[in-house]
Structure 1
Amino acid sequence: MQRLTLTLALLASGTIAHAQESTSHLDSVQQQGQLAVCTTGDYKPYSFLRPDGEYEGIDIEMARNLAKSLGVKVQWVPTSWKTLMPDFLAGKCDIAVGGISVSLERQKKAFFSNILDIDGKIPLVRCEEQAQYQTLDQINRPEVRLVEPAGGTNEAFVHAYAPKAQLALHDNVTIFQQLLDKKADVMITDASEALYQQKRLPGLCAVNPSKYMQYGEKAYLLPRDDMAWKSYVDQWLHLSKANGAYQKVVGEWLAVPGE
């Protein structure tokens, strides 16, 4: 009888522990009163950490909007492209934002929200040299100096499709000055970033921004196996697009061809 009682007690405690472990982020975020958001802070127009310590950008504004919908505050969790997935898997955040590209490697370890936008890879170069870097064949040459931030999909693209070119890794904040100072020739990046930097920095031009060298999509990174949380984020995103809130934020930041 004692053995049966002990067995039942252990089973009950295991059930309780499993229930505690499986609590959705939707519940825990509301209970704790804060939304933990991982972001790199180095990728305009999506996420940028200003010198005064405040974050700004498209995804930053949307994260604040998500927190508001839950009646909680945002807790920013600084990360980098190299440490994004380890930090996320360590449970440091409820969501990761900041121009994150959808990839199968990331999908193996986490969920993605519904797609935000389509955004493929293109070259960003000095305007007077656009004709030299129209194709991958023109870029994938030993004399071409590529510059990319470490650890993201841009670096992965270059390793896969332009292995013959010279590659230098640089921080994503001052990387564009490398192009302007003629210390590098080409940066392969997402069309949205290239268009934004084209508008911000005279002398830099996005090459064929509507003709992607590689198709890409943007989304938010979410914890794996938490469908309640993913369903909430997806529905919030759907409504944000339906009522125009998302488009308004994007319009405040994103450059478009011809502007």
Structure 2
Amino acid sequence: MKKYFFFILFIGLSFSLVGKDSYFRGFYHGKNVFVRNPYLGQDSGFCIEEIYLNGDLVVENPKVSAYEIDMQNLEQESRVVIRIVHHDDCEPELTNPEVIRGDLKFSWLKVYVDENQIIWLTTKESKDGFYIVEKDTKDGWFPIDTVKTKGGIFINQHSLELDHVQGDNLYRVQYHDPEMEVKVSESFNFHSDKREITHAIDEEKWIIEFTEEVSYLLYDENSRIIKRGKDVSCNIQKLPRGKYMIKYDGKEIYFDKK
């Protein structure tokens, strides 16, 4: 009877020592993966027995609570299969599973405007893309400036200085990626209580003077931008005679230089 008892006990112990496999799949995007390795106690040690990356053994019995899988030898966007052999009574997990996620789709997180600038946060932007910041005018959406993307799958923050007009100012941002259609953010309105900026043209010195510093664009009669700046004045003395238009603070002023 004792022989049967020990035989059954041996079978039970052998079964409890059999490892279990867990698989994690995705794509390499330039970041290493960290694996949480639970400690099971003095008798059992740590949870993980072996870690494989794309079929190759990476480490055996790591005696650390968190292990970093070095994937820098992989090609960008290549497939990743992580196999972890571990004790049956525990579950290892990736602490940063987002770094190998396959659904890398661009998304807007937040767009907001303050007194001085527009700020937008995005995730999973292309390193080869760009943004266009636009303002709503009486003639439709007008591009203010472009901003280069930073790239990567994590959160990026961008900003651009703005010059508001008095009252409501409505802005939005376009995201351009060579591999996908244009994505447009929600519009954001900012109400400014700033004083109205005006100007005067000194026709003797041919200088346009503003009541305070402002960003401006100067156009010729063919609607081409010939000068831009941010100042309290715009010197047009060297320009030839002709018709011009200066745009600033939401205004379009036409004038003749004689």
Instruction: State the TM-score, normalizing by the size of structure 2.
Output: 0.22
Instruction: State the TM-score, normalizing by the size of structure 1.
Output: 0.22
Higher RCO (C-alpha 8 Å, min separation 6): 1
Between Structure 1 and Structure 2, the one with more strand by share is 2
Between Structure 1 and Structure 2, the one with more helix by share is 1
Please tell me whether Structure 1 or Structure 2 has the larger radius of gyration of its CA atoms.
2
